[in-house]
Amino acid sequence: MLTSVHIKSFRGISGLKIDALAPINIFVGANGSGKTSALKAIGMVTTPGISRGKSIFFTPYNA
């Protein structure tokens, strides 16, 4: 289970850091605020084979 995520320079997200992910999370925001982009970024590093030709850097660490 992911406990935190840091997204940098992905789609419309210049930088996003979430430190307290729970087993179930709800993303709420206005249209175009980056909810789907955040979920796609998380999906790209947690689902094998979805890189779409872009470099993905995933650095697991224990907090």
Q: What is the pLDDT along the chain (63 residues), one digit of tens a residue?
A: 888 999 999 899 999 999 988 999 999 999 999 999 999 988 888 887 665 555 555 566 554
Structure tokens at 16: 């996003």
At 2 the pLDDT is 83
At 48 the pLDDT is 72
Give dist(CA 10, CA 43) in Å, integer: 13
C-alpha pair distances (Å), 7 with each of 26, 60? 17, 13
Structure tokens at 21: 């992910």
